[in-house]
Amino acid sequence: MLSAREITGVVLLVLPFAYSWYLMARLAAYRRERHPVFFTGFHVLRPDLYITDGLRHLHRLWLVLVLTIPWCAGVAFTCFR
């Protein structure tokens, strides 16, 4: 059985991934080409693929991607030791 601390750690580990999926879904509405694109690589993170209104979401996604590894490492060292 998982303790409350471990459950909290699992939830905190999932948060950046869930938020990045949410931002990717929001960015789909701002793509210059309207065909569906799945996250298959880093080419979807290029700013020239989105209209100006979507750049705010793209910059947030960049920030989440940069901070995901330090966030996960901090949560792992705090909650799972």
pLDDT at 44: 79
pTM of the model: 0.82
Domain locations in the chain?
4-79
Q: How many whole angstroms separate alpha carbon 63 and alpha carbon 70?
A: 12
Q: How many whole angstroms separate alpha carbon 77 and alpha carbon 71?
A: 10
pLDDT at 36: 63
Query: One digit per residue, pLDDT tens: the chain, 81 residues?
Result: 888 888 999 999 999 999 999 998 888 888 888 766 665 667 778 898 899 999 999 999 999 999 999 999 999 999 888
- Which value, in Å, is the radius of gyration of the alpha carbons in the chain? 16
- Backbone φ and ψ for 8, nearest 5 degrees, come out as -60, -40
